[in-house]
Structure 1
Amino acid sequence: MNSSNKKLIAIFAPFLNPVGVKRATFGLAKEFSKSGYEIDMLSIHKEWNDLDLLENMRLIRLSDIFNNFPTTGYIKFRLVSFLIAARTIFTISSYLKKNKPGILFVSMMPVVAWLGLKISGQRSSTKLVISVQGFPINNFFRRFLWRRVFQDSQDVIAESESLKSKLENMTGNSNLNYIYNPHFENQHDFDANFNNINEENDFILGLGRLTKQKNFKLLIHAFSNLTNIDNLDLLIIGDGEEKANLDKLIEKLDLSSRVKLLGEIKNPLGYIKKARILIIPSLWEGLPRVAVEAQALRTPIISSCHEGGLGEILMNGDAGQITGKNDPIEMKNAIEKYIQDEDLAKSHADFAFKNLNRFSLSSSAKKYLNIFSRY
């Protein structure tokens, strides 16, 4: 009979490009380590190379052969992802067979981890814990695989209550939990220096990758419909494949002097703090860090996306305004409401700040550790 090292947690959160899950997963790993667990950070593509590990944490490189493969471009990214996933099934299986961790904690590529665990022969002794991030697309292929993965998992934990409900509907598994992803250690520690921001006018802000999912065209259309509001600009921070289309839309609506695409900014917290409003016009979202950052900086939020965790971040309208999806007039009205009623904007921002501890590292780690203590 196989045995396992019950105090060893293997963390498997593979990614090819920087994503928000990196900081959250690493923060949790450190908290698990401080609670007496040994931690192996499993790497397939330089995931943890730039981070400082604690004394009882190890970096385990499952493979180095893909480190220099290109990860930009739609086709290249998916091809490299497929090659890495296929190889990782066997490299993670070898790791599990040799090291026998008590817990395999997975926050990305759950099917790869599940297949590796099955091949390793450790399924009866290594507890598979799946943490599901984002807002996954519901299709037949994913439903088919995830039903089987979830059945073999000790626990499946969604990052929001909304996502938990979606996963239950997708898989028919009603024995799921949810724990909010951690976004900070101390909500007072956000470094938001805006002394170097040289914007003459007040501004509202959009922030994120310039993709169809982020739906910044909705925000631009809403801004174009504002009335009786002078000296207000729209700034959008981020880059991506929709930039050219957004540039054309801005020119078409004759907004070139008032709407600015600023590109990538390494630390945008100063812009978030100085903005009159942060607006999230996405078609779908998970539990976006930018919303939590805005709440920590007491910047009011408007979102057209209610599903996937944003409704919970905004406390169903008590901590921010929620508009209809793809409705520029309703979004325009929400912007005008905050600009014209500063007391309402402040009350929403203050209420959000008071309830922000839900997304702290200590709160999330405590809930995970309570689950692990049952094993």
Structure 2
Amino acid sequence: MNKIALYLPNLCGGGAERVMLLLANQLADMGEKVDLVLVKSEGIFLDKVSMKVNVIDLKARNFLFSIFSLIRYLKAEKPQIILSAIEKANLIAIWANRFCRSRSKNIASCHNNLSNHYASAIHLKRIMCPLIKKFYPYADRIVAVSQGVADDLIQNFHINPNKIRVIYNPIVNADLILKAQEDIQHSWFENNDAPIILGVGRLTKQKDFPTLIRAFSLILQQIPAKLIILGEGEDRGRLEYLIKELKLENDVSLLGFVENPYAYMQRSDVFVLSSRWEGFGNVLVEAMACGCPVVSTNCPSGPAEILGNGEYGILVPVGDVEKMAKSIIKILTNKELREELSNKALKRAKEFHVEKAVEKYLQIFSEVCMGK
């Protein structure tokens, strides 16, 4: 039995955090010894950690200072594997492992298309991109959550392809399916007066909710509908201003973060991902697992892979308001198409079950421990 350490900042609700939580719980259920090593033991997912998982709170002030606590942990506990997620955590794990000359095998997981992620953050790009190019090669393996993310690492960060393994995120489990059946206290679902369009994600530039809101404005010119967006973030004020400017206050609802988005996915008529870029696109798979037809931008990288280049959902160009509106209307006004896409979505979502992903991680753990 291996001792496996999963290292990340906290469990504050992002996609990477949820993936690491699911991995930790599933690995522990399979009999592995799992330490969940957190820079700070905090976050909304904290109470979802299995009792079989040992939570290690480094109690560090920030990422940089966590390196000292992580070094002490590696020396004392000597895990066979340390798996990290999010770029800063990956770098800290690599540095700590090398500094203390640990025999732990270092696996860094990359959850975003880094070229796009840093494109608009010039100062951060100047710091992070050279560090990633220099130190990621010291990892024993790098897990990319999509082929697009892998290609970006190879082409733009010059990572050796032999070090990279593509493992789609573990998304679907029994808990998701159960939560999708829970009731929702919202008048739009109770009254059933108009079809409901759903978007889910942090209210940031990356998710490009302005395009979805503008597309929704065009939709209302042809059919009645409602738009619900779940998530919180720094762009809330801008989105509220846009909604008011387009006179959509009675038809758009920004509900903020909700603990159970799956119940909304189960009951919505169409799910829309409007992102400019993604690493994978977890919410797409979550919506599909709930049987919700999907429309997504064909952004780098993930959605095209998830949707089989349009076989399991509709892909539209990034930022194209008119094509997004037309695609949503096409689904909302065609019952047969809705049912077809719903069935295809359910079928495709099975490919992203937690157990399948964990099997692939275990294969990598075995590879690196055997020195392959």
Q: Aligned to 1:226, what secondary structure does the other structure show?
A: helix
Given the superposition, is the C-alpha separation of residues 85 and 284 from structure 1 closer, same or farther in structure 2, using an over 3 Å criterion?
Answer: same
C-alpha distance in 2, partners of 1:370/1:16? 26
Matched, 1:61 2:57: yes
Q: Aligned to 2:156, what secondary structure does the other structure show?
A: helix
Given the superposition, is the C-alpha separation of residues 106 and 52 from structure 1 closer, same or farther in structure 2, using an over 3 Å criterion?
Answer: closer
C-alpha contact 2:276 2:299 (8 A) present in aligned 1: no
Query: 1:360 aligned to 341, 353, 356, which one?
Result: 353
Alignment of 1:2-151 (within 5 A): 7-15=2-10, 17-47=12-42, 49-55=46-52, 57-62=53-58, 64=59, 66=61, 84-108=62-86, 109-122=89-102, 125-136=103-114, 137-138=117-118, 139-151=125-137
Alignment of 1:279-358 (within 5 A): 279-358=272-351
Q: Aligned to 2:56, what secondary structure does the other structure show?
A: strand
Matched, 1:191 2:180: yes
Partner of 2:152: 166
C-alpha distance in 1, partners of 2:306/2:350? 11
C-alpha contact 1:110 1:149 (8 A) present in aligned 2: no
Deviation at 1:34, TM superposition (A): 4.0
C-alpha distance in 2, partners of 1:324/1:52? 38
Alignment of 1:240-251 (within 5 A): 240-251=233-244
Q: Deviations over 1:117-140 (max 9, x none)?
A: 111121xx2211111113323545
Q: Aligned to 1:225, what secondary structure does the other structure show?
A: helix
* Uncovered stretches (5+) of structure 2, i.e. residues with no partner: 119-124
C-alpha contact 2:269 2:293 (8 A) present in aligned 1: yes
Task: Tell me whether 295-304 or 261-270 shows the greater mean CA deviation.
Answer: 261-270
Deviation at 1:301, TM superposition (A): 0.8
Deviation at 1:65, TM superposition (A): 5.4
C-alpha distance in 1, partners of 2:303/2:93? 28
* Uncovered stretches (5+) of structure 1, i.e. residues with no partner: 1-5, 67-83
Pairs aligned (count): 349
Deviation at 1:35, TM superposition (A): 4.1
Q: Among the aligned pairs, what percent are the same residue?
A: 29
C-alpha distance in 2, partners of 1:283/1:168? 21
Deviation at 1:14, TM superposition (A): 1.7
C-alpha contact 2:331 2:338 (8 A) present in aligned 1: yes
Query: 1:181 aligned to 161, 169, 190, which one?
Result: 169
Letter of the aligned partner of 1:37 in structure 2?
E
C-alpha distance in 2, partners of 1:255/1:213? 22
Q: CA RMSD, aligned part only?
A: 2.3
Letter of the aligned partner of 1:103 in structure 2?
I
Structure-2-length-normalised TM-score: 0.86
Q: Deviations over 1:275-306 (max 9, x none)?
A: 11111111112223321221111111111243
C-alpha contact 2:215 2:324 (8 A) present in aligned 1: yes
Deviation at 1:27, TM superposition (A): 2.2
Given the superposition, is the C-alpha separation of residues 170 and 268 from structure 1 closer, same or farther in structure 2, using an over 3 Å criterion?
Answer: same
Letter of the aligned partner of 2:187 in structure 1?
N
Deviation at 1:45, TM superposition (A): 0.7
Relative to its length, the structure with more helix (as a share) is 2
